[in-house]
Amino acid sequence: MRRALAVLVVALALPAAAGAQPGVGVKAKTGKGLYAGYCLSCHGVDGSGVISTSHPKGVLDLRGLGPPLRGVGAQAADFYLTTGYMPLADPHDQPRHTKSPFDKQEIAALVAYVASLGKGPKVPRPQPRLGDLSQGQSLFTEHCAGCHQIVAEGGYVTNAVAPPLHQATPVQIAEAVRIGPYLMPKFPVSQISDAQLNSIIAYVQWAKHPDDPGGWSIGRIGPVPEGLVAWLIGAAALVGCCLLIGRRFQR
Amino acid sequence: MSAFRKWAIAFGVLLLGRKKRQPRVVDRPRIVPPGEPDPRAEWLVLLLLLLAAAAAVGFIVVYSFNHLAHQTQYLGLALGLALAFVAVALIVVGKRLVVTEELEEDYSLPHSTAQEELQQLVDESGDRFTRKRLLLAGGTAAAGAIGAALVVPALSLGPLFDTGALYETPWRRGVRLVDEHGKPLLLDEIERETFYTAYAQGADKELLGAPVVVVRFEPSQLHLPAARRDWAPGGVVAYSKICTHAGCAIALFRKPTFPVVEPGPALICPCHYSTFDPTRAAKVIFGPAGRPLPQLPLAVDANGVLRAAGNFSGPVGPAWSGVRSKPPRNPS
């Protein structure tokens, strides 16, 4: 009886907890209004950041935690908002690529507001058409493939996921390289020039639909599925050999 | 001593006793239909066995080379060929030399005559072999060579080989850190929250000891042992890029954007996820690696160029027998 009661209580509490997200019911259309509704509890007043849990609770009593946004510029705001990385329900989660709750105008308003908080980099304008695919591949291999896998299928680092890049737009790739979202290192111009970045983006665009010279992609994630297929074919061939050896010669 | 002698005599008697085989009963009628000898098949079997032996010897020869292009592929090819030749030899024996006949019979109680019959059956089945000893010698050669091929790599585990070269690295006091194009690394150009790969100036980049991974932190973030206080000018630290587990390249650098809620900075090997904390002298914080990445002491010259202030803190790369016994040194 007590257990049934406990289940009931949890079932009732869950939707309430899910609803307790920042910004629910916010009607504002201005950047500042949206910021107050969706961002303030973690990023603080005017992007000052919340870096300790001893900070007073924010909107809807959420215990927010978030880095300061002064000086991150339009570049970072555009990346985190267009990818749906932000708003993030739990600051301890890794942000994932999701559909943004904002429409284009709202994102533009928020980006403009965050950019106004301090001097920071603008949204980049990469031109992958000027890039060189072959150079892009070697640069991607050198700088990116360790985590994101050679055809950008994504992978893992300890404690986190390196996301696949199927959905990444050229602008988002350029932004991510420069700002290093979440656990990704950032690559300054001294490491990857803008021209090289164009090549990398050209390669990622190509890697979304690679040629598959073998005719069969098998997930494009390397030796595990390929080995599995090889073993299945190999095992069938071995059974065939056994049957052949065991067969009698017709005299 | 006397006990040892007793054992030796007993063993000798056993060997001698085993050699004496019961003479075959000749006056009994044959069970297996007599087959024609097939000398050509025998020669073929012998040839195949010798080829197997040759392929296995080839494995040992290839293995004994220190540096050979596509060595792994040749090793696999040699061993695969040896086993394939033995398989074909056995197939030829089974198909063309052993007399085959299928008989159906109920199980009977074990009986001495039945056992003799079985012995006779086995003996007579080998009737078509005319060069038994030669084939036996061929078989021994193939089995011996393949056995040796399987055992020889184990020699690399032991102290038989000189591991001295494994301790050698091109780093010594004053060697400049250069990028892959040979451009020297300047302290002021090293940025935080990213990572660089550097090499010893003038050294072969393919050497295990040559590449280092360079990262920069706030000096207050670093928690190096007291003896390594001066190894990180301006908060720049350098570690061997070769993982101490299986020798892959440390290709992953994890840097938190917001350290309050995110995992701390780490150097990670993509092969088996050995994870090292670069702020704590590359201590292993996760994964199969057994010891930290060797750290390279750094110094800055008057022109702001990063230079090594000595050799690594320990031997580079995956472990070998006695890896901790000696410090790394320079080739003489």
How far apart CA B82 and CA B103 sit, in angstroms, is: 35
The H or E element spanning position B217 is none
Q: Which residue has the tokens 């929250």?
A: B193
A17: its two tokens: 């907890």
* Helix H or strand E encompassing B2: helix B2-19
The more confidently predicted of residues B278 and B328 is B278
Which comes out higher in pLDDT, residue A153 or A55? A153
CB contact under 8 A, B257 and A180: yes
Give a yes or no: residue A228 inside a domain: no
A71 and A110, same domain (yes or no) = yes
Q: Kindly determine whether residue A158 and residue B256, on different chains, have CB atoms separated by under 8 Å.
A: no
Q: Per the CB < 8 Å rule, is B194 touching A191?
A: yes
In this structure, are A132 and A111 located in the same domain? no
Residues of A within an 8 Å Cβ radius of B = 51-52, 65-67, 91-92, 145-147, 155-160, 180-188, 190-191, 245, 248-249
Alpha helices (H) along chain A:
2-19, 31-38, 40-43, 73-82, 104-116, 133-143, 145-148, 170-179, 194-207, 223-246
Look at residues A63, A89, A123 and tell me which one is the last residue of a structural domain: A123
**Secondary structure (3-state) at B167:** helix
Cβ distance B286 to A155 less than 8 Å, yes or no, reads no
CA distances B27 to B24, B30, B111, B120, Å, are 9, 9, 19, 11
Chain A: closest CA distance from residue B262 (Å): 7
Q: Which residues of B touch A (CB under 8 A)?
A: 91, 94-95, 100, 189, 191, 193-196, 251-258, 260-263, 266, 268, 270, 273, 275, 286-287
Residues A96 and A129 placed together within one structural domain of the fold: no
Q: How far apart are CA B259 and CA B263, in angstroms?
A: 7
> Which are the contacts of B141, defined by CB distance < 8 A and separation ≥ 6?
B49, B50, B53
Bigger pLDDT: B317 vs A51: B317
0.85 surpassed by complex ipTM: no
Q: Is residue A114 part of a domain?
A: yes
Which whole number is the average pLDDT over A127-135? Answer: 95
pLDDT at A144 over 50: yes
CB-nearest partner of B273 from A91, A158, A182? A158
Span B46-66, average pLDDT: 94
Put simply, the answer to whether A157 touches B254 (Cβ < 8 Å) is: yes
Average pLDDT over residues B250-256: 93
Residues A156 and A206 in one domain: yes
Please indicate, yes or no, if residue A166 is contained in any of the structural domains: yes
Structure confidence by residue, pLDDT tens digits, B3-32: 778 888 888 777 777 665 666 656 778 877
Token pair belonging to A31: 């950047």
pLDDT beyond 50 at A215: yes
Chain A closest CA to B148's CA: distance in Å?
26
Cβ-Cβ contacts under 8 Å for B109 (sequence gap 6 or more): none
Question: Which of A67, A92, A185 has its CB closest to that of B253?
Answer: A185
Burial A1-26 (b: 16+ CB within 10 A, else e): eeeeeeeeeeeeeeeeeeeebbbeee
Q: For position B307, what pLDDT does the model report?
A: 96
CATH code, domain carrying A56: 1.10.760.10
- Domain boundary residue, one of A123, A157, A178: A123
- Give the pLDDT confidence of B116-173 residue by residue, as tens digits: 888 888 888 888 888 888 999 999 999 999 999 999 888 777 666 677 888 899 999 9
Q: Characterize the bridge pairing of strands B252-254 and B266-268.
A: antiparallel
CB distance B193–A185 less than 8 Å? Answer: yes
Would you state the pLDDT for residue A153?
A: 92
The lowest-confidence range among A181-190, B22-31, B266-275 is B22-31
Q: Which residues pair with A66 in a beta bridge?
A: A50
| Interchain proximity A52–B260, CB inside 8 Å | yes
- Among A157, A184, A187, beta carbon nearest to B268: A157
Distances (CA, A) of B298 to B152, B186, B189, B222, B306: 42, 12, 15, 14, 7
Residue of A nearest to B215 (CA): A185
Average the pLDDT over A61-86 and give the result: 89
Same domain for A38 and A118, yes or no, is yes
Name the least confident of A6-20, A154-168, B164-178, B291-305. A6-20
Say whether pLDDT at A98 is over 50.
yes
The answer to which of A136-145, A207-216, B223-232, B254-263 has the lowest mean pLDDT is A207-216
Residues of chain A with Cβ-Cβ distance to B91 below 8 Å are 245
What range defines the domain where residue A64 resides? Answer: 29-123
- Mean pLDDT for A145-168 is 92
> For chains A and B, what is the number of CB pairs under 8 angstroms?
73
Q: Are residues A117 and A148 in the same domain?
A: no
Q: Which residue has the higher pLDDT, B216 or B155?
A: B216
Supply φ then ψ for residue B112, to 5 degrees. -60, -40
Whether B305 has a pLDDT exceeding 60, the answer reads yes
Is residue A9's pLDDT more than 50? Answer: no
pLDDT of residue A172: 96
Residues A178 and A130 in one domain: yes
At B191, which amino acid appears? E
* Residues of chain A contacting B287 with CB distance shorter than 8 Å: 158
The beta-carbon neighbor of B257 closest among A155, A181, A248 is: A181
Beta carbons of A40 and A23 less than 8 angstroms apart = no
- A169 domain residue, yes or no: yes
CB-closest option in A158, A190, A249 to B286 = A158
- For residue B260, give the nearest of A65, A190, A191 by CB distance: A65
Residues of B in contact with A148 (CB under 8 A): none
Query: Considering only alpha carbons, which residue of chain A is nearest residue B266?
Result: A158
Do A113 and A151 belong to one domain?
no
pLDDT of residue B98: 86
Instruction: Out of A52, A160, A190, name the one closest to residue B189 (CB).
Output: A190
A84 and A115 together in one domain:
yes
In a domain, A8, yes or no: no
- Chain A residues in contact with B276 (beta carbon < 8 A): none
Check residue B122 and give its pLDDT. Answer: 86
pLDDT for the residue numbered A137: 95
Total number of domains in chain A: 2
Q: What percent of chain B has pLDDT over 70?
A: 94
Residue range A153-173: mean pLDDT, rounded: 93
Select the more confidently predicted residue: B66 or B52. B52
* A9 is a domain residue: no
Instruction: Give the alpha-carbon dihedral of B82, B87, B90, B92, to 10 degrees.
Output: -100
A33 Cα to chain B: minimum distance (Å): 25
Work out whether strand B295-296 and strand B298-300 pair parallel, antiparallel, or are unpaired. unpaired
> Which one has a higher pLDDT value, B127 or A126?
A126
Co-location of A146 and A136 in the same domain: yes
Q: Are residues A203 and A171 in the same domain?
A: yes
Claim: this prediction has a pTM higher than 0.80:
no
Residue A4 lies in a domain: no
Check whether residue A148 and residue A93 sit in a common domain: no
Residue B242's SS3 state is strand
Q: In the listed set A91, A107, A123, which residue is the last one of a domain according to the structure?
A: A123
* One-letter amino acid of B205: K
Nearest by CB: A182 against B252, B257, B270: B257
Contact between A185 and B255 using a beta-carbon 8 Å cutoff: yes
Position A239 in a domain:
no
